[in-house]
Amino acid sequence: MGSLVVHSGPPEADPRRIEERVRAICLALPGCEERLSHGSPAFFVGRQFVMLWPDGHHDLSFPHLWCAAAPGAQEDLTSTEPDRFFRPPYVGHRGWIGVRLDGDVDWDEVANICQEAHQVIAPARYRSAS
């Protein structure tokens, strides 16, 4: 009996590996908790600050994050790098950014984006700790 092939693309594009990396980044932040939201991993520090869609979501067939962002960040990132950043559905009107996690992902940059999202949402006692 043959083994089941779950993912045939490059290892860095495997949804399980993407989920593990994002989880490690977010759970290292002060006060962070992981909960499922709409069937996908979401990260909270009191309120939600990152949502992961490792297999894509709705019309977006690629893995991506939705992240809280400082005022103006969404407009800046989506206009300067539209191939990597987008206005996500549902939370884009609040200034959140969508981050593509397919292709050549800069995981240090993803960590910085998640940390910034944490800073935007976190209560003061956690902001000073990170």
Note whether residue 26 is domain-resident: yes
Least confident segment among 5-9, 27-31, 82-86: 5-9
Note whether residue 80 is domain-resident: yes
Note whether residue 88 is domain-resident: yes
Note whether residue 58 is domain-resident: yes
The number of distinct structural domains making up the chain is: 1
Task: Provide the pLDDT for residue 54.
Answer: 85
The dihedral region occupied by 117, where left means phi > 0, alpha psi between -120 and 50, and beta the remainder, is: alpha
Note whether residue 38 is domain-resident: yes
Contact 83, 96 (CB under 8 A): no
Mean pLDDT of the chain: 88
Residue numbers of the domain that contains 92: 11-127
Note whether residue 87 is domain-resident: yes
pTM: 0.86
- pLDDT-derived band at 11 (thresholds 50, 70, 90) equals very low
Cα angle, residue 26 at apex, residues 53 and 63 outer, rounded to 5°: 20
CATH number assigned to the domain comprising residue 39: 3.90.1150.30
Note whether residue 3 is domain-resident: no
Note whether residue 1 is domain-resident: no
Structure confidence by residue, pLDDT tens digits, 32-90: 999 999 889 999 999 999 999 988 776 778 899 999 999 999 999 999 999 999 999 99
Query: Tokens in use for 103?
Result: 């292709």
